[in-house]
Amino acid sequence: MPDVQKQNGQPWFYSDTVKEHFLHPKNFVEDEASLSDSYLGMVGSPACGDVMRVWLKIEKDAGGAERIKDMKWKTFGCASAIASTSMLSVMVTENNGMPVETALALRPQDILARLGGLPDRKIHCSVLGDKALRAAINDYFRTSGQTDRITVESGRIIDKVLKITDKDIENAVLEGADTVEKVQERTKVGTADPSCLPEVEQLVRFYREKYCER
């Protein structure tokens, strides 16, 4: 049975998969010193609660394809953040390792689908996961001299601490977050960089008028 908690009278449902990855996280690492030869990605801020660090080992297979052969991680945050990163680590290493180009295309919805969903207030946890993964892949590109392959988060950065872009805010509105508060629940925008909130409010109004009030 799913675990149920309540926030402001609204039920939160945690799937059995979420509970499994929270209680028995996969590929979690305690000794960071053992990963000095891995590629590192980090996203988040202690000021807002969630910090994710991801370490990757990437190798070429017999056909020359770059595959993620191992992913270790350490996350400081809530149960949903831990479960999201644990699931992500399984997704990119199963079946002999995910090709790098496929991993770059992963989005929060892919992690949510494998977890069986998360409460609306916790969707930001899977958003951080895919950003940390791309940051680690960028570290691989830099280290291996492939700077032309480094990817930049799409859109203009609004929250300079969490690297939340206007595209992230647009996606949140498209998924039903029609107020600043609801956008914050999904993305945590402005929790570590409050100076961006006036712009966030303008963007929410713009996207709501564009998509929801026609």
- The answer to whether 207 and 187 are in contact (CB under 8 A) is no
Which residues participate in catalysis according to the annotation? 48, 125
Alpha carbon 189 to chain centroid, angstroms: 13
Report d(CA 167, CA 157) in Å as an integer. Answer: 9
- The answer to whether 55 and 27 are in contact (CB under 8 A) is no
CB atoms within 10 A of CB 174: 12
Task: For residue 13, give both structure tokens.
Answer: 């449902």
Q: Which amino acid is at 6?
A: K
